[in-house]
Structure 1
Amino acid sequence: MDLSMTDLERDIIREILNIGLARAADSFAVIAQERVLLEVPNIDLLMSEDIMRKVREYQSRHVAIQSDIRGDFNGTTLMFFSGQHIQRLSRVCLRMNAPEALEVNELQESLLLEISNIITGALVTQLANILKANIYGAPPTAPRGDIADMMQNLLPQQQLQPLIFSVITQFSDKDNMVELPLMLFFDRVTFAKILEIIRSYDFLGSQMSA
């Protein structure tokens, strides 16, 4: 099967994500007590070496939270919280004056896990509804050590050709925009399933008439 995307297919996938993330943004805004904007500016297909390099780059400057996608699809999400995010969310949600640092205590980690659970859960639910797939998100975890090295287990015999959705969350606070990267990985089989679903019927027409 041809795994290359047309511009229209890329736009369709981007719109699916926008719908799911819009719901997540509403829930997240209540937690953060701020106006929250989520955008999906890019959809990139990256080779395994490139993905590992990008994961390590993010991990060096963020605290990572991971959640696996299971069921009909096989994938993983990674959310990356900066020290500024942690400081701000600790103040707003925990009433805690915390430094802008990547070291978190148990309470802060639980908060990041819950936020990740809300955002990725909304996204997975929307993917399941639109693509008519039986999928669910596993409980999020805070991985220790080199995430990229751990993710080698997801790349058996180079079967995983990751589909990376570069999702940026922007917090609006006194004109200060803070990016919250979310990376979504699917293996080749799942990516092929998604493209087949999109190509198998008049996707845009059926969604507009729904």
Structure 2
Amino acid sequence: MSLTSLQLDILQELINIGVGRAAGMLNQLVNTHIQLQVPVLRVLTPNQLAALYATRPNSVFSAVQLSFTGEFTGISALIFPPESAAKLINVVLGNGSLPADETMRTATLQEVGNIVLNGVMGSIANILREPLRYSPPDYVEADISAIVGRDNGMVLVASTQFSMKDHLIDGEVLILFSLSSFDSLLRAIDSLAAD
């Protein structure tokens, strides 16, 4: 499914606004300046995404997933390679080494994921005037196919970097829409562009 350049530009701006809001909330959480790089946006099928990730050296990712329903239905996920997840936990908790407590590690990633995903999805929902309902975030460690599944649909992939306290942390926001939901998203974007 191909998007027009205007649709891609609007999607990019929606993601940028959400990432900016998330950076502001994360700054308050960790009481240090966090800069989120403007994400590079791609639209892929789940199979294309799986093929892209198959070329990476590490196939297991730390991911926080947030399901959403409404006019758009799907799953958003914030994923990190394991080394980036470990760095992020250390910076957020202020520890020099990875905490041994698995519960604390999971809770930290869930909180960061919840902030970022709510910032991004909230921006999309608010600007397009399409209310969404969210489930509580889940934390998983899995390969990309287990995270996004193999269903028919489209995945928005926003690759970004978190910069905080001299650390660069790679992460990606994935938003998986069913095909009908993706069509609804594009109609909402076209309606916004026509206003």
TM-score (norm 2): 0.82
Q: Which residue of 2 aligns with 1:49?
A: 47
Distance 1:14 1:68 in 2: 21
- Label 1:179 to 1:86 Cα distance change in 2 as closer, same or farther (>3 A): closer
Q: Is residue 20 of structure 2 the alignment partner of residue 28 of structure 1?
A: no
Distance 2:173 2:46 in 1: 17
Q: Which residue of 2 aligns with 1:139?
A: 136
Q: Which residue of 2 aligns with 1:124?
A: 121
Q: Which residue of 1 aligns with 2:62?
A: 63
Contact 1:25 1:38 in 2 (8 A): no
- Label 1:58 to 1:66 Cα distance change in 2 as closer, same or farther (>3 A): farther
Number of residue pairs the alignment of both structures matches = 193
Q: Which residue of 2 aligns with 1:169?
A: 161
Q: Which residue of 2 aligns with 1:108?
A: 105
What letter matches 2:170 in structure 1? E
Question: What is the deviation of 1:11?
Answer: 0.4
- Label 1:76 to 1:124 Cα distance change in 2 as closer, same or farther (>3 A): same
TM-score (norm 1): 0.77
Answer with 110-119 or 126-135: which moved more. 126-135
Unaligned runs of 5+ in 2: none
Distance 2:49 2:169 in 1: 22
From the CA coordinates, give the structure whose radius of gyration is larger: 1
Q: Which residue of 1 aligns with 2:39?
A: 40
Distance 1:104 1:71 in 2: 36
RMSD in angstroms over aligned alpha carbons? 2.8
Q: Is residue 173 of structure 2 the alignment partner of residue 182 of structure 1?
A: yes
Distance 2:21 2:41 in 1: 19
- Label 1:135 to 1:61 Cα distance change in 2 as closer, same or farther (>3 A): same
Among 4, 15, 18, the residue aligned to 1:6: 4
3-state SS in 1 of match to 2:168 = coil
Q: Percent identity?
A: 21
- Label 1:73 to 1:42 Cα distance change in 2 as closer, same or farther (>3 A): same
- Label 1:87 to 1:183 Cα distance change in 2 as closer, same or farther (>3 A): same
Distance 1:107 1:59 in 2: 23
Higher strand share: 2
Contact 2:89 2:98 in 1 (8 A): no
Unaligned runs of 5+ in 1: none
Q: Which has the higher contact order (CA 8 A, sep 6+)?
A: 2
3-state SS in 2 of match to 1:128 = helix
3-state SS in 1 of match to 2:121 = helix
- Label 1:81 to 1:151 Cα distance change in 2 as closer, same or farther (>3 A): closer
Distance 1:58 1:65 in 2: 21
